[in-house]
Amino acid sequence: MVVEQPQGRSVLFAPRPRRGIIIGLLPGQLVVLAVGLLVAIPAVYTGGVARLAATAPLWGAMVAAAFVTVAGRTLVSWAPTVAHHAWRAVAGQLSYRVRVPRPPEAGRLALPGEAAGLRLHVHPGMTAAMVHDPRARTLTAALRVRSAGTFVLADPREQERRADTWGALLSGYCTGGRLISRIQVLERTMPESGISADAFWRAHGVDDGGWAAQSYREVLATAAPTSERHETLVALSLDLRAAAHQVRAAGGGVGGAAEVLAQQLTLLGRRLPSLDLAHDGWVTAPDLALLLRGAYDPTGLATLVRSKVGRTPGSAGPMAVDEGWATFRADGSWHCVLWVAEWPRVAVPVDVLWPLLLTSGVHRTVSVTFEPIPHDRALRAVRQERVEHESDARQRARSDVLTTETQRREAVDAVRRERELVAGAGDMRYVGLVTVSAPDRQALDVAVEQVRTAAAEAHCELRVLYGQQTQAFTAAALPLARGMQ
């Protein structure tokens, strides 16, 4: 008798928007093409073909900048990144060193780059460590999450139920006053020092001197120091502007904001059991300091755990950072941050990311940050997008320009999103970032290729974030719910 296995639901990701202003051209492309025309047209009228050929290097460079692509981006789109990186190199901002003689300011996290202004706030009566960003006016806290069961091995119907519950949870942040500006889900593999395995053996093992006990001790001696552990955190970022009324009602200031954020964290903790998840408590100040220090230097994490150092805000960051174009080094570890440039373009099961999340032998962090969009704003945006698609289609028809399959899919996706929004679903912007870490540059290159291969198996395309590695690392590897500019 043949028994049919239950088929899991397939999901389809929307294509990454590539809409332009005119026939798919972006503003930067239009600007350089306009400059090229300002050179070419007068040359034709004043000197004919001869002068047009003489000025070819100028207008030709503009055309090349508009259409020639490098690593998936046009040359004109690379210009701001290259200019900013060059300016930072001239200003000496690509290197960071801790000034040991100067005592750190109370409450300030010792982090490099744009995260240097973040402050740690611990509200009386609470154990959660909250990170205040005075510039962006946000307050962020995180909690540890563990799974009560294995998602990959669960029944397809159970996977669908959990996915639907998670979608409903995220949709809830799109309604109301949009107090939460970002939700970050961070899953990372960290080197395991072997202390946990050794402690478990001492507590539960039977060391009777036999060959089995001796073999187990040999396994611990060789495998435990190189083993790894998985850790998952969820961070919520409270928008102090949107929550101004609630903050004032709770007492005002950072203390009132802490009360509001604590309520949001408690509510999230109550919803986790419906996802077969449990939380191991909020991230405390010593935990956060160790998390940040361990993220910058996972190679030395085992030493930090044993020595009990790096548990204060002043020692949360790295001692030294040197940033390059495609990588950066922090203390004894090398890092490379990649972003998910393309999510799966075909229908995939809900556990599509398991090849990336279960990659072994690599120290990596996978972070997905969601930004809720209020329902009314999302509906206006998708309707405007539909109008732009129809306008572009008419413009292409008049200009006899071919409509590509990508443009057709984007138009269909806009119709589908409007239908879902009218039915009550929420809309979110989201970005996926992957950080790969290794003890040296050669090992980092090998690990990056291994992670890229795993991402390809999950039907995702990863690209290196050139020229902005330090900023990207703050958003990708730290549980601070930071966004990319």
Q: What is the pLDDT of residues 229-255, one digit of tens each?
A: 788 899 999 999 988 898 999 888 888
Looking at residue 233, what is its pLDDT? 92
Q: In angstroms, rounded to a whole number, what is the distance separating the alpha carbons of residues 121 and 110?
A: 14
For the residues 8-16, what does the mean pLDDT come to? Answer: 70
Asked if 96 contacts 112 with a C-beta cutoff of 8 angstroms, the reply is yes
- Find the largest Cα–Cα distance for the chain: 98
Which structure tokens are listed for 338? 């990649």
pLDDT of residue 48 exceeding 60: yes
**Which range has the worst mean pLDDT, 4-18, 64-78, 285-299?**
4-18
**Which range has the worst mean pLDDT, 86-90, 279-283, 288-292?**
279-283
Looking at residue 100, what is its pLDDT? 64
pLDDT of residue 132 exceeding 60: yes
For the residues 39-58, what does the mean pLDDT come to? Answer: 83
Q: In angstroms, rounded to a whole number, what is the distance separating the alpha carbons of residues 429 and 27?
A: 22
List for the chain the helix, strand, coil content (%; round to 5): 45, 20, 30
Q: What is the pLDDT of residues 450-478, one digit of tens each?
A: 999 999 998 899 999 998 998 899 999 99
Q: In angstroms, rounded to a whole number, what is the distance separating the alpha carbons of residues 436 and 141?
A: 24
pLDDT of residue 78 exceeding 80: yes
Amino acid at 375: H
Looking at residue 405, what is its pLDDT? 80
pLDDT of residue 366 exceeding 90: yes
- What confidence tier does 418 reach under pLDDT thresholds 50, 70, 90? confident
Looking at residue 198, what is its pLDDT? 59
Domain segments of the chain: what residues? 94-192+227-477
Average pLDDT value over all residues in the chain: 81
Which structure tokens are listed for 423? 């039915």
Looking at residue 464, what is its pLDDT? 93
pLDDT of residue 480 exceeding 70: yes
Looking at residue 392, what is its pLDDT? 80
For the residues 418-435, what does the mean pLDDT come to? Answer: 86
Asked if 428 contacts 170 with a C-beta cutoff of 8 angstroms, the reply is yes
Record the pTM: 0.84
Q: What angle do CA 118, 466, 94 make, to 5 degrees?
A: 50
Looking at residue 303, what is its pLDDT? 65
- Percent of the chain surpassing pLDDT 70: 83
Comparing 317 with 336, the larger pLDDT belongs to 336
Q: Which residues of 23-52 are buried (b: 16+ CB within 10 A; e: fewer)?
A: ebebebbeebbebbeebbeebeeeeeeeeb
Looking at residue 281, what is its pLDDT? 82
Q: What is the pLDDT of residues 182-225, one digit of tens each?
A: 999 999 887 665 555 555 666 666 666 767 667 766 666 655 55
- What confidence tier does 442 reach under pLDDT thresholds 50, 70, 90? very high
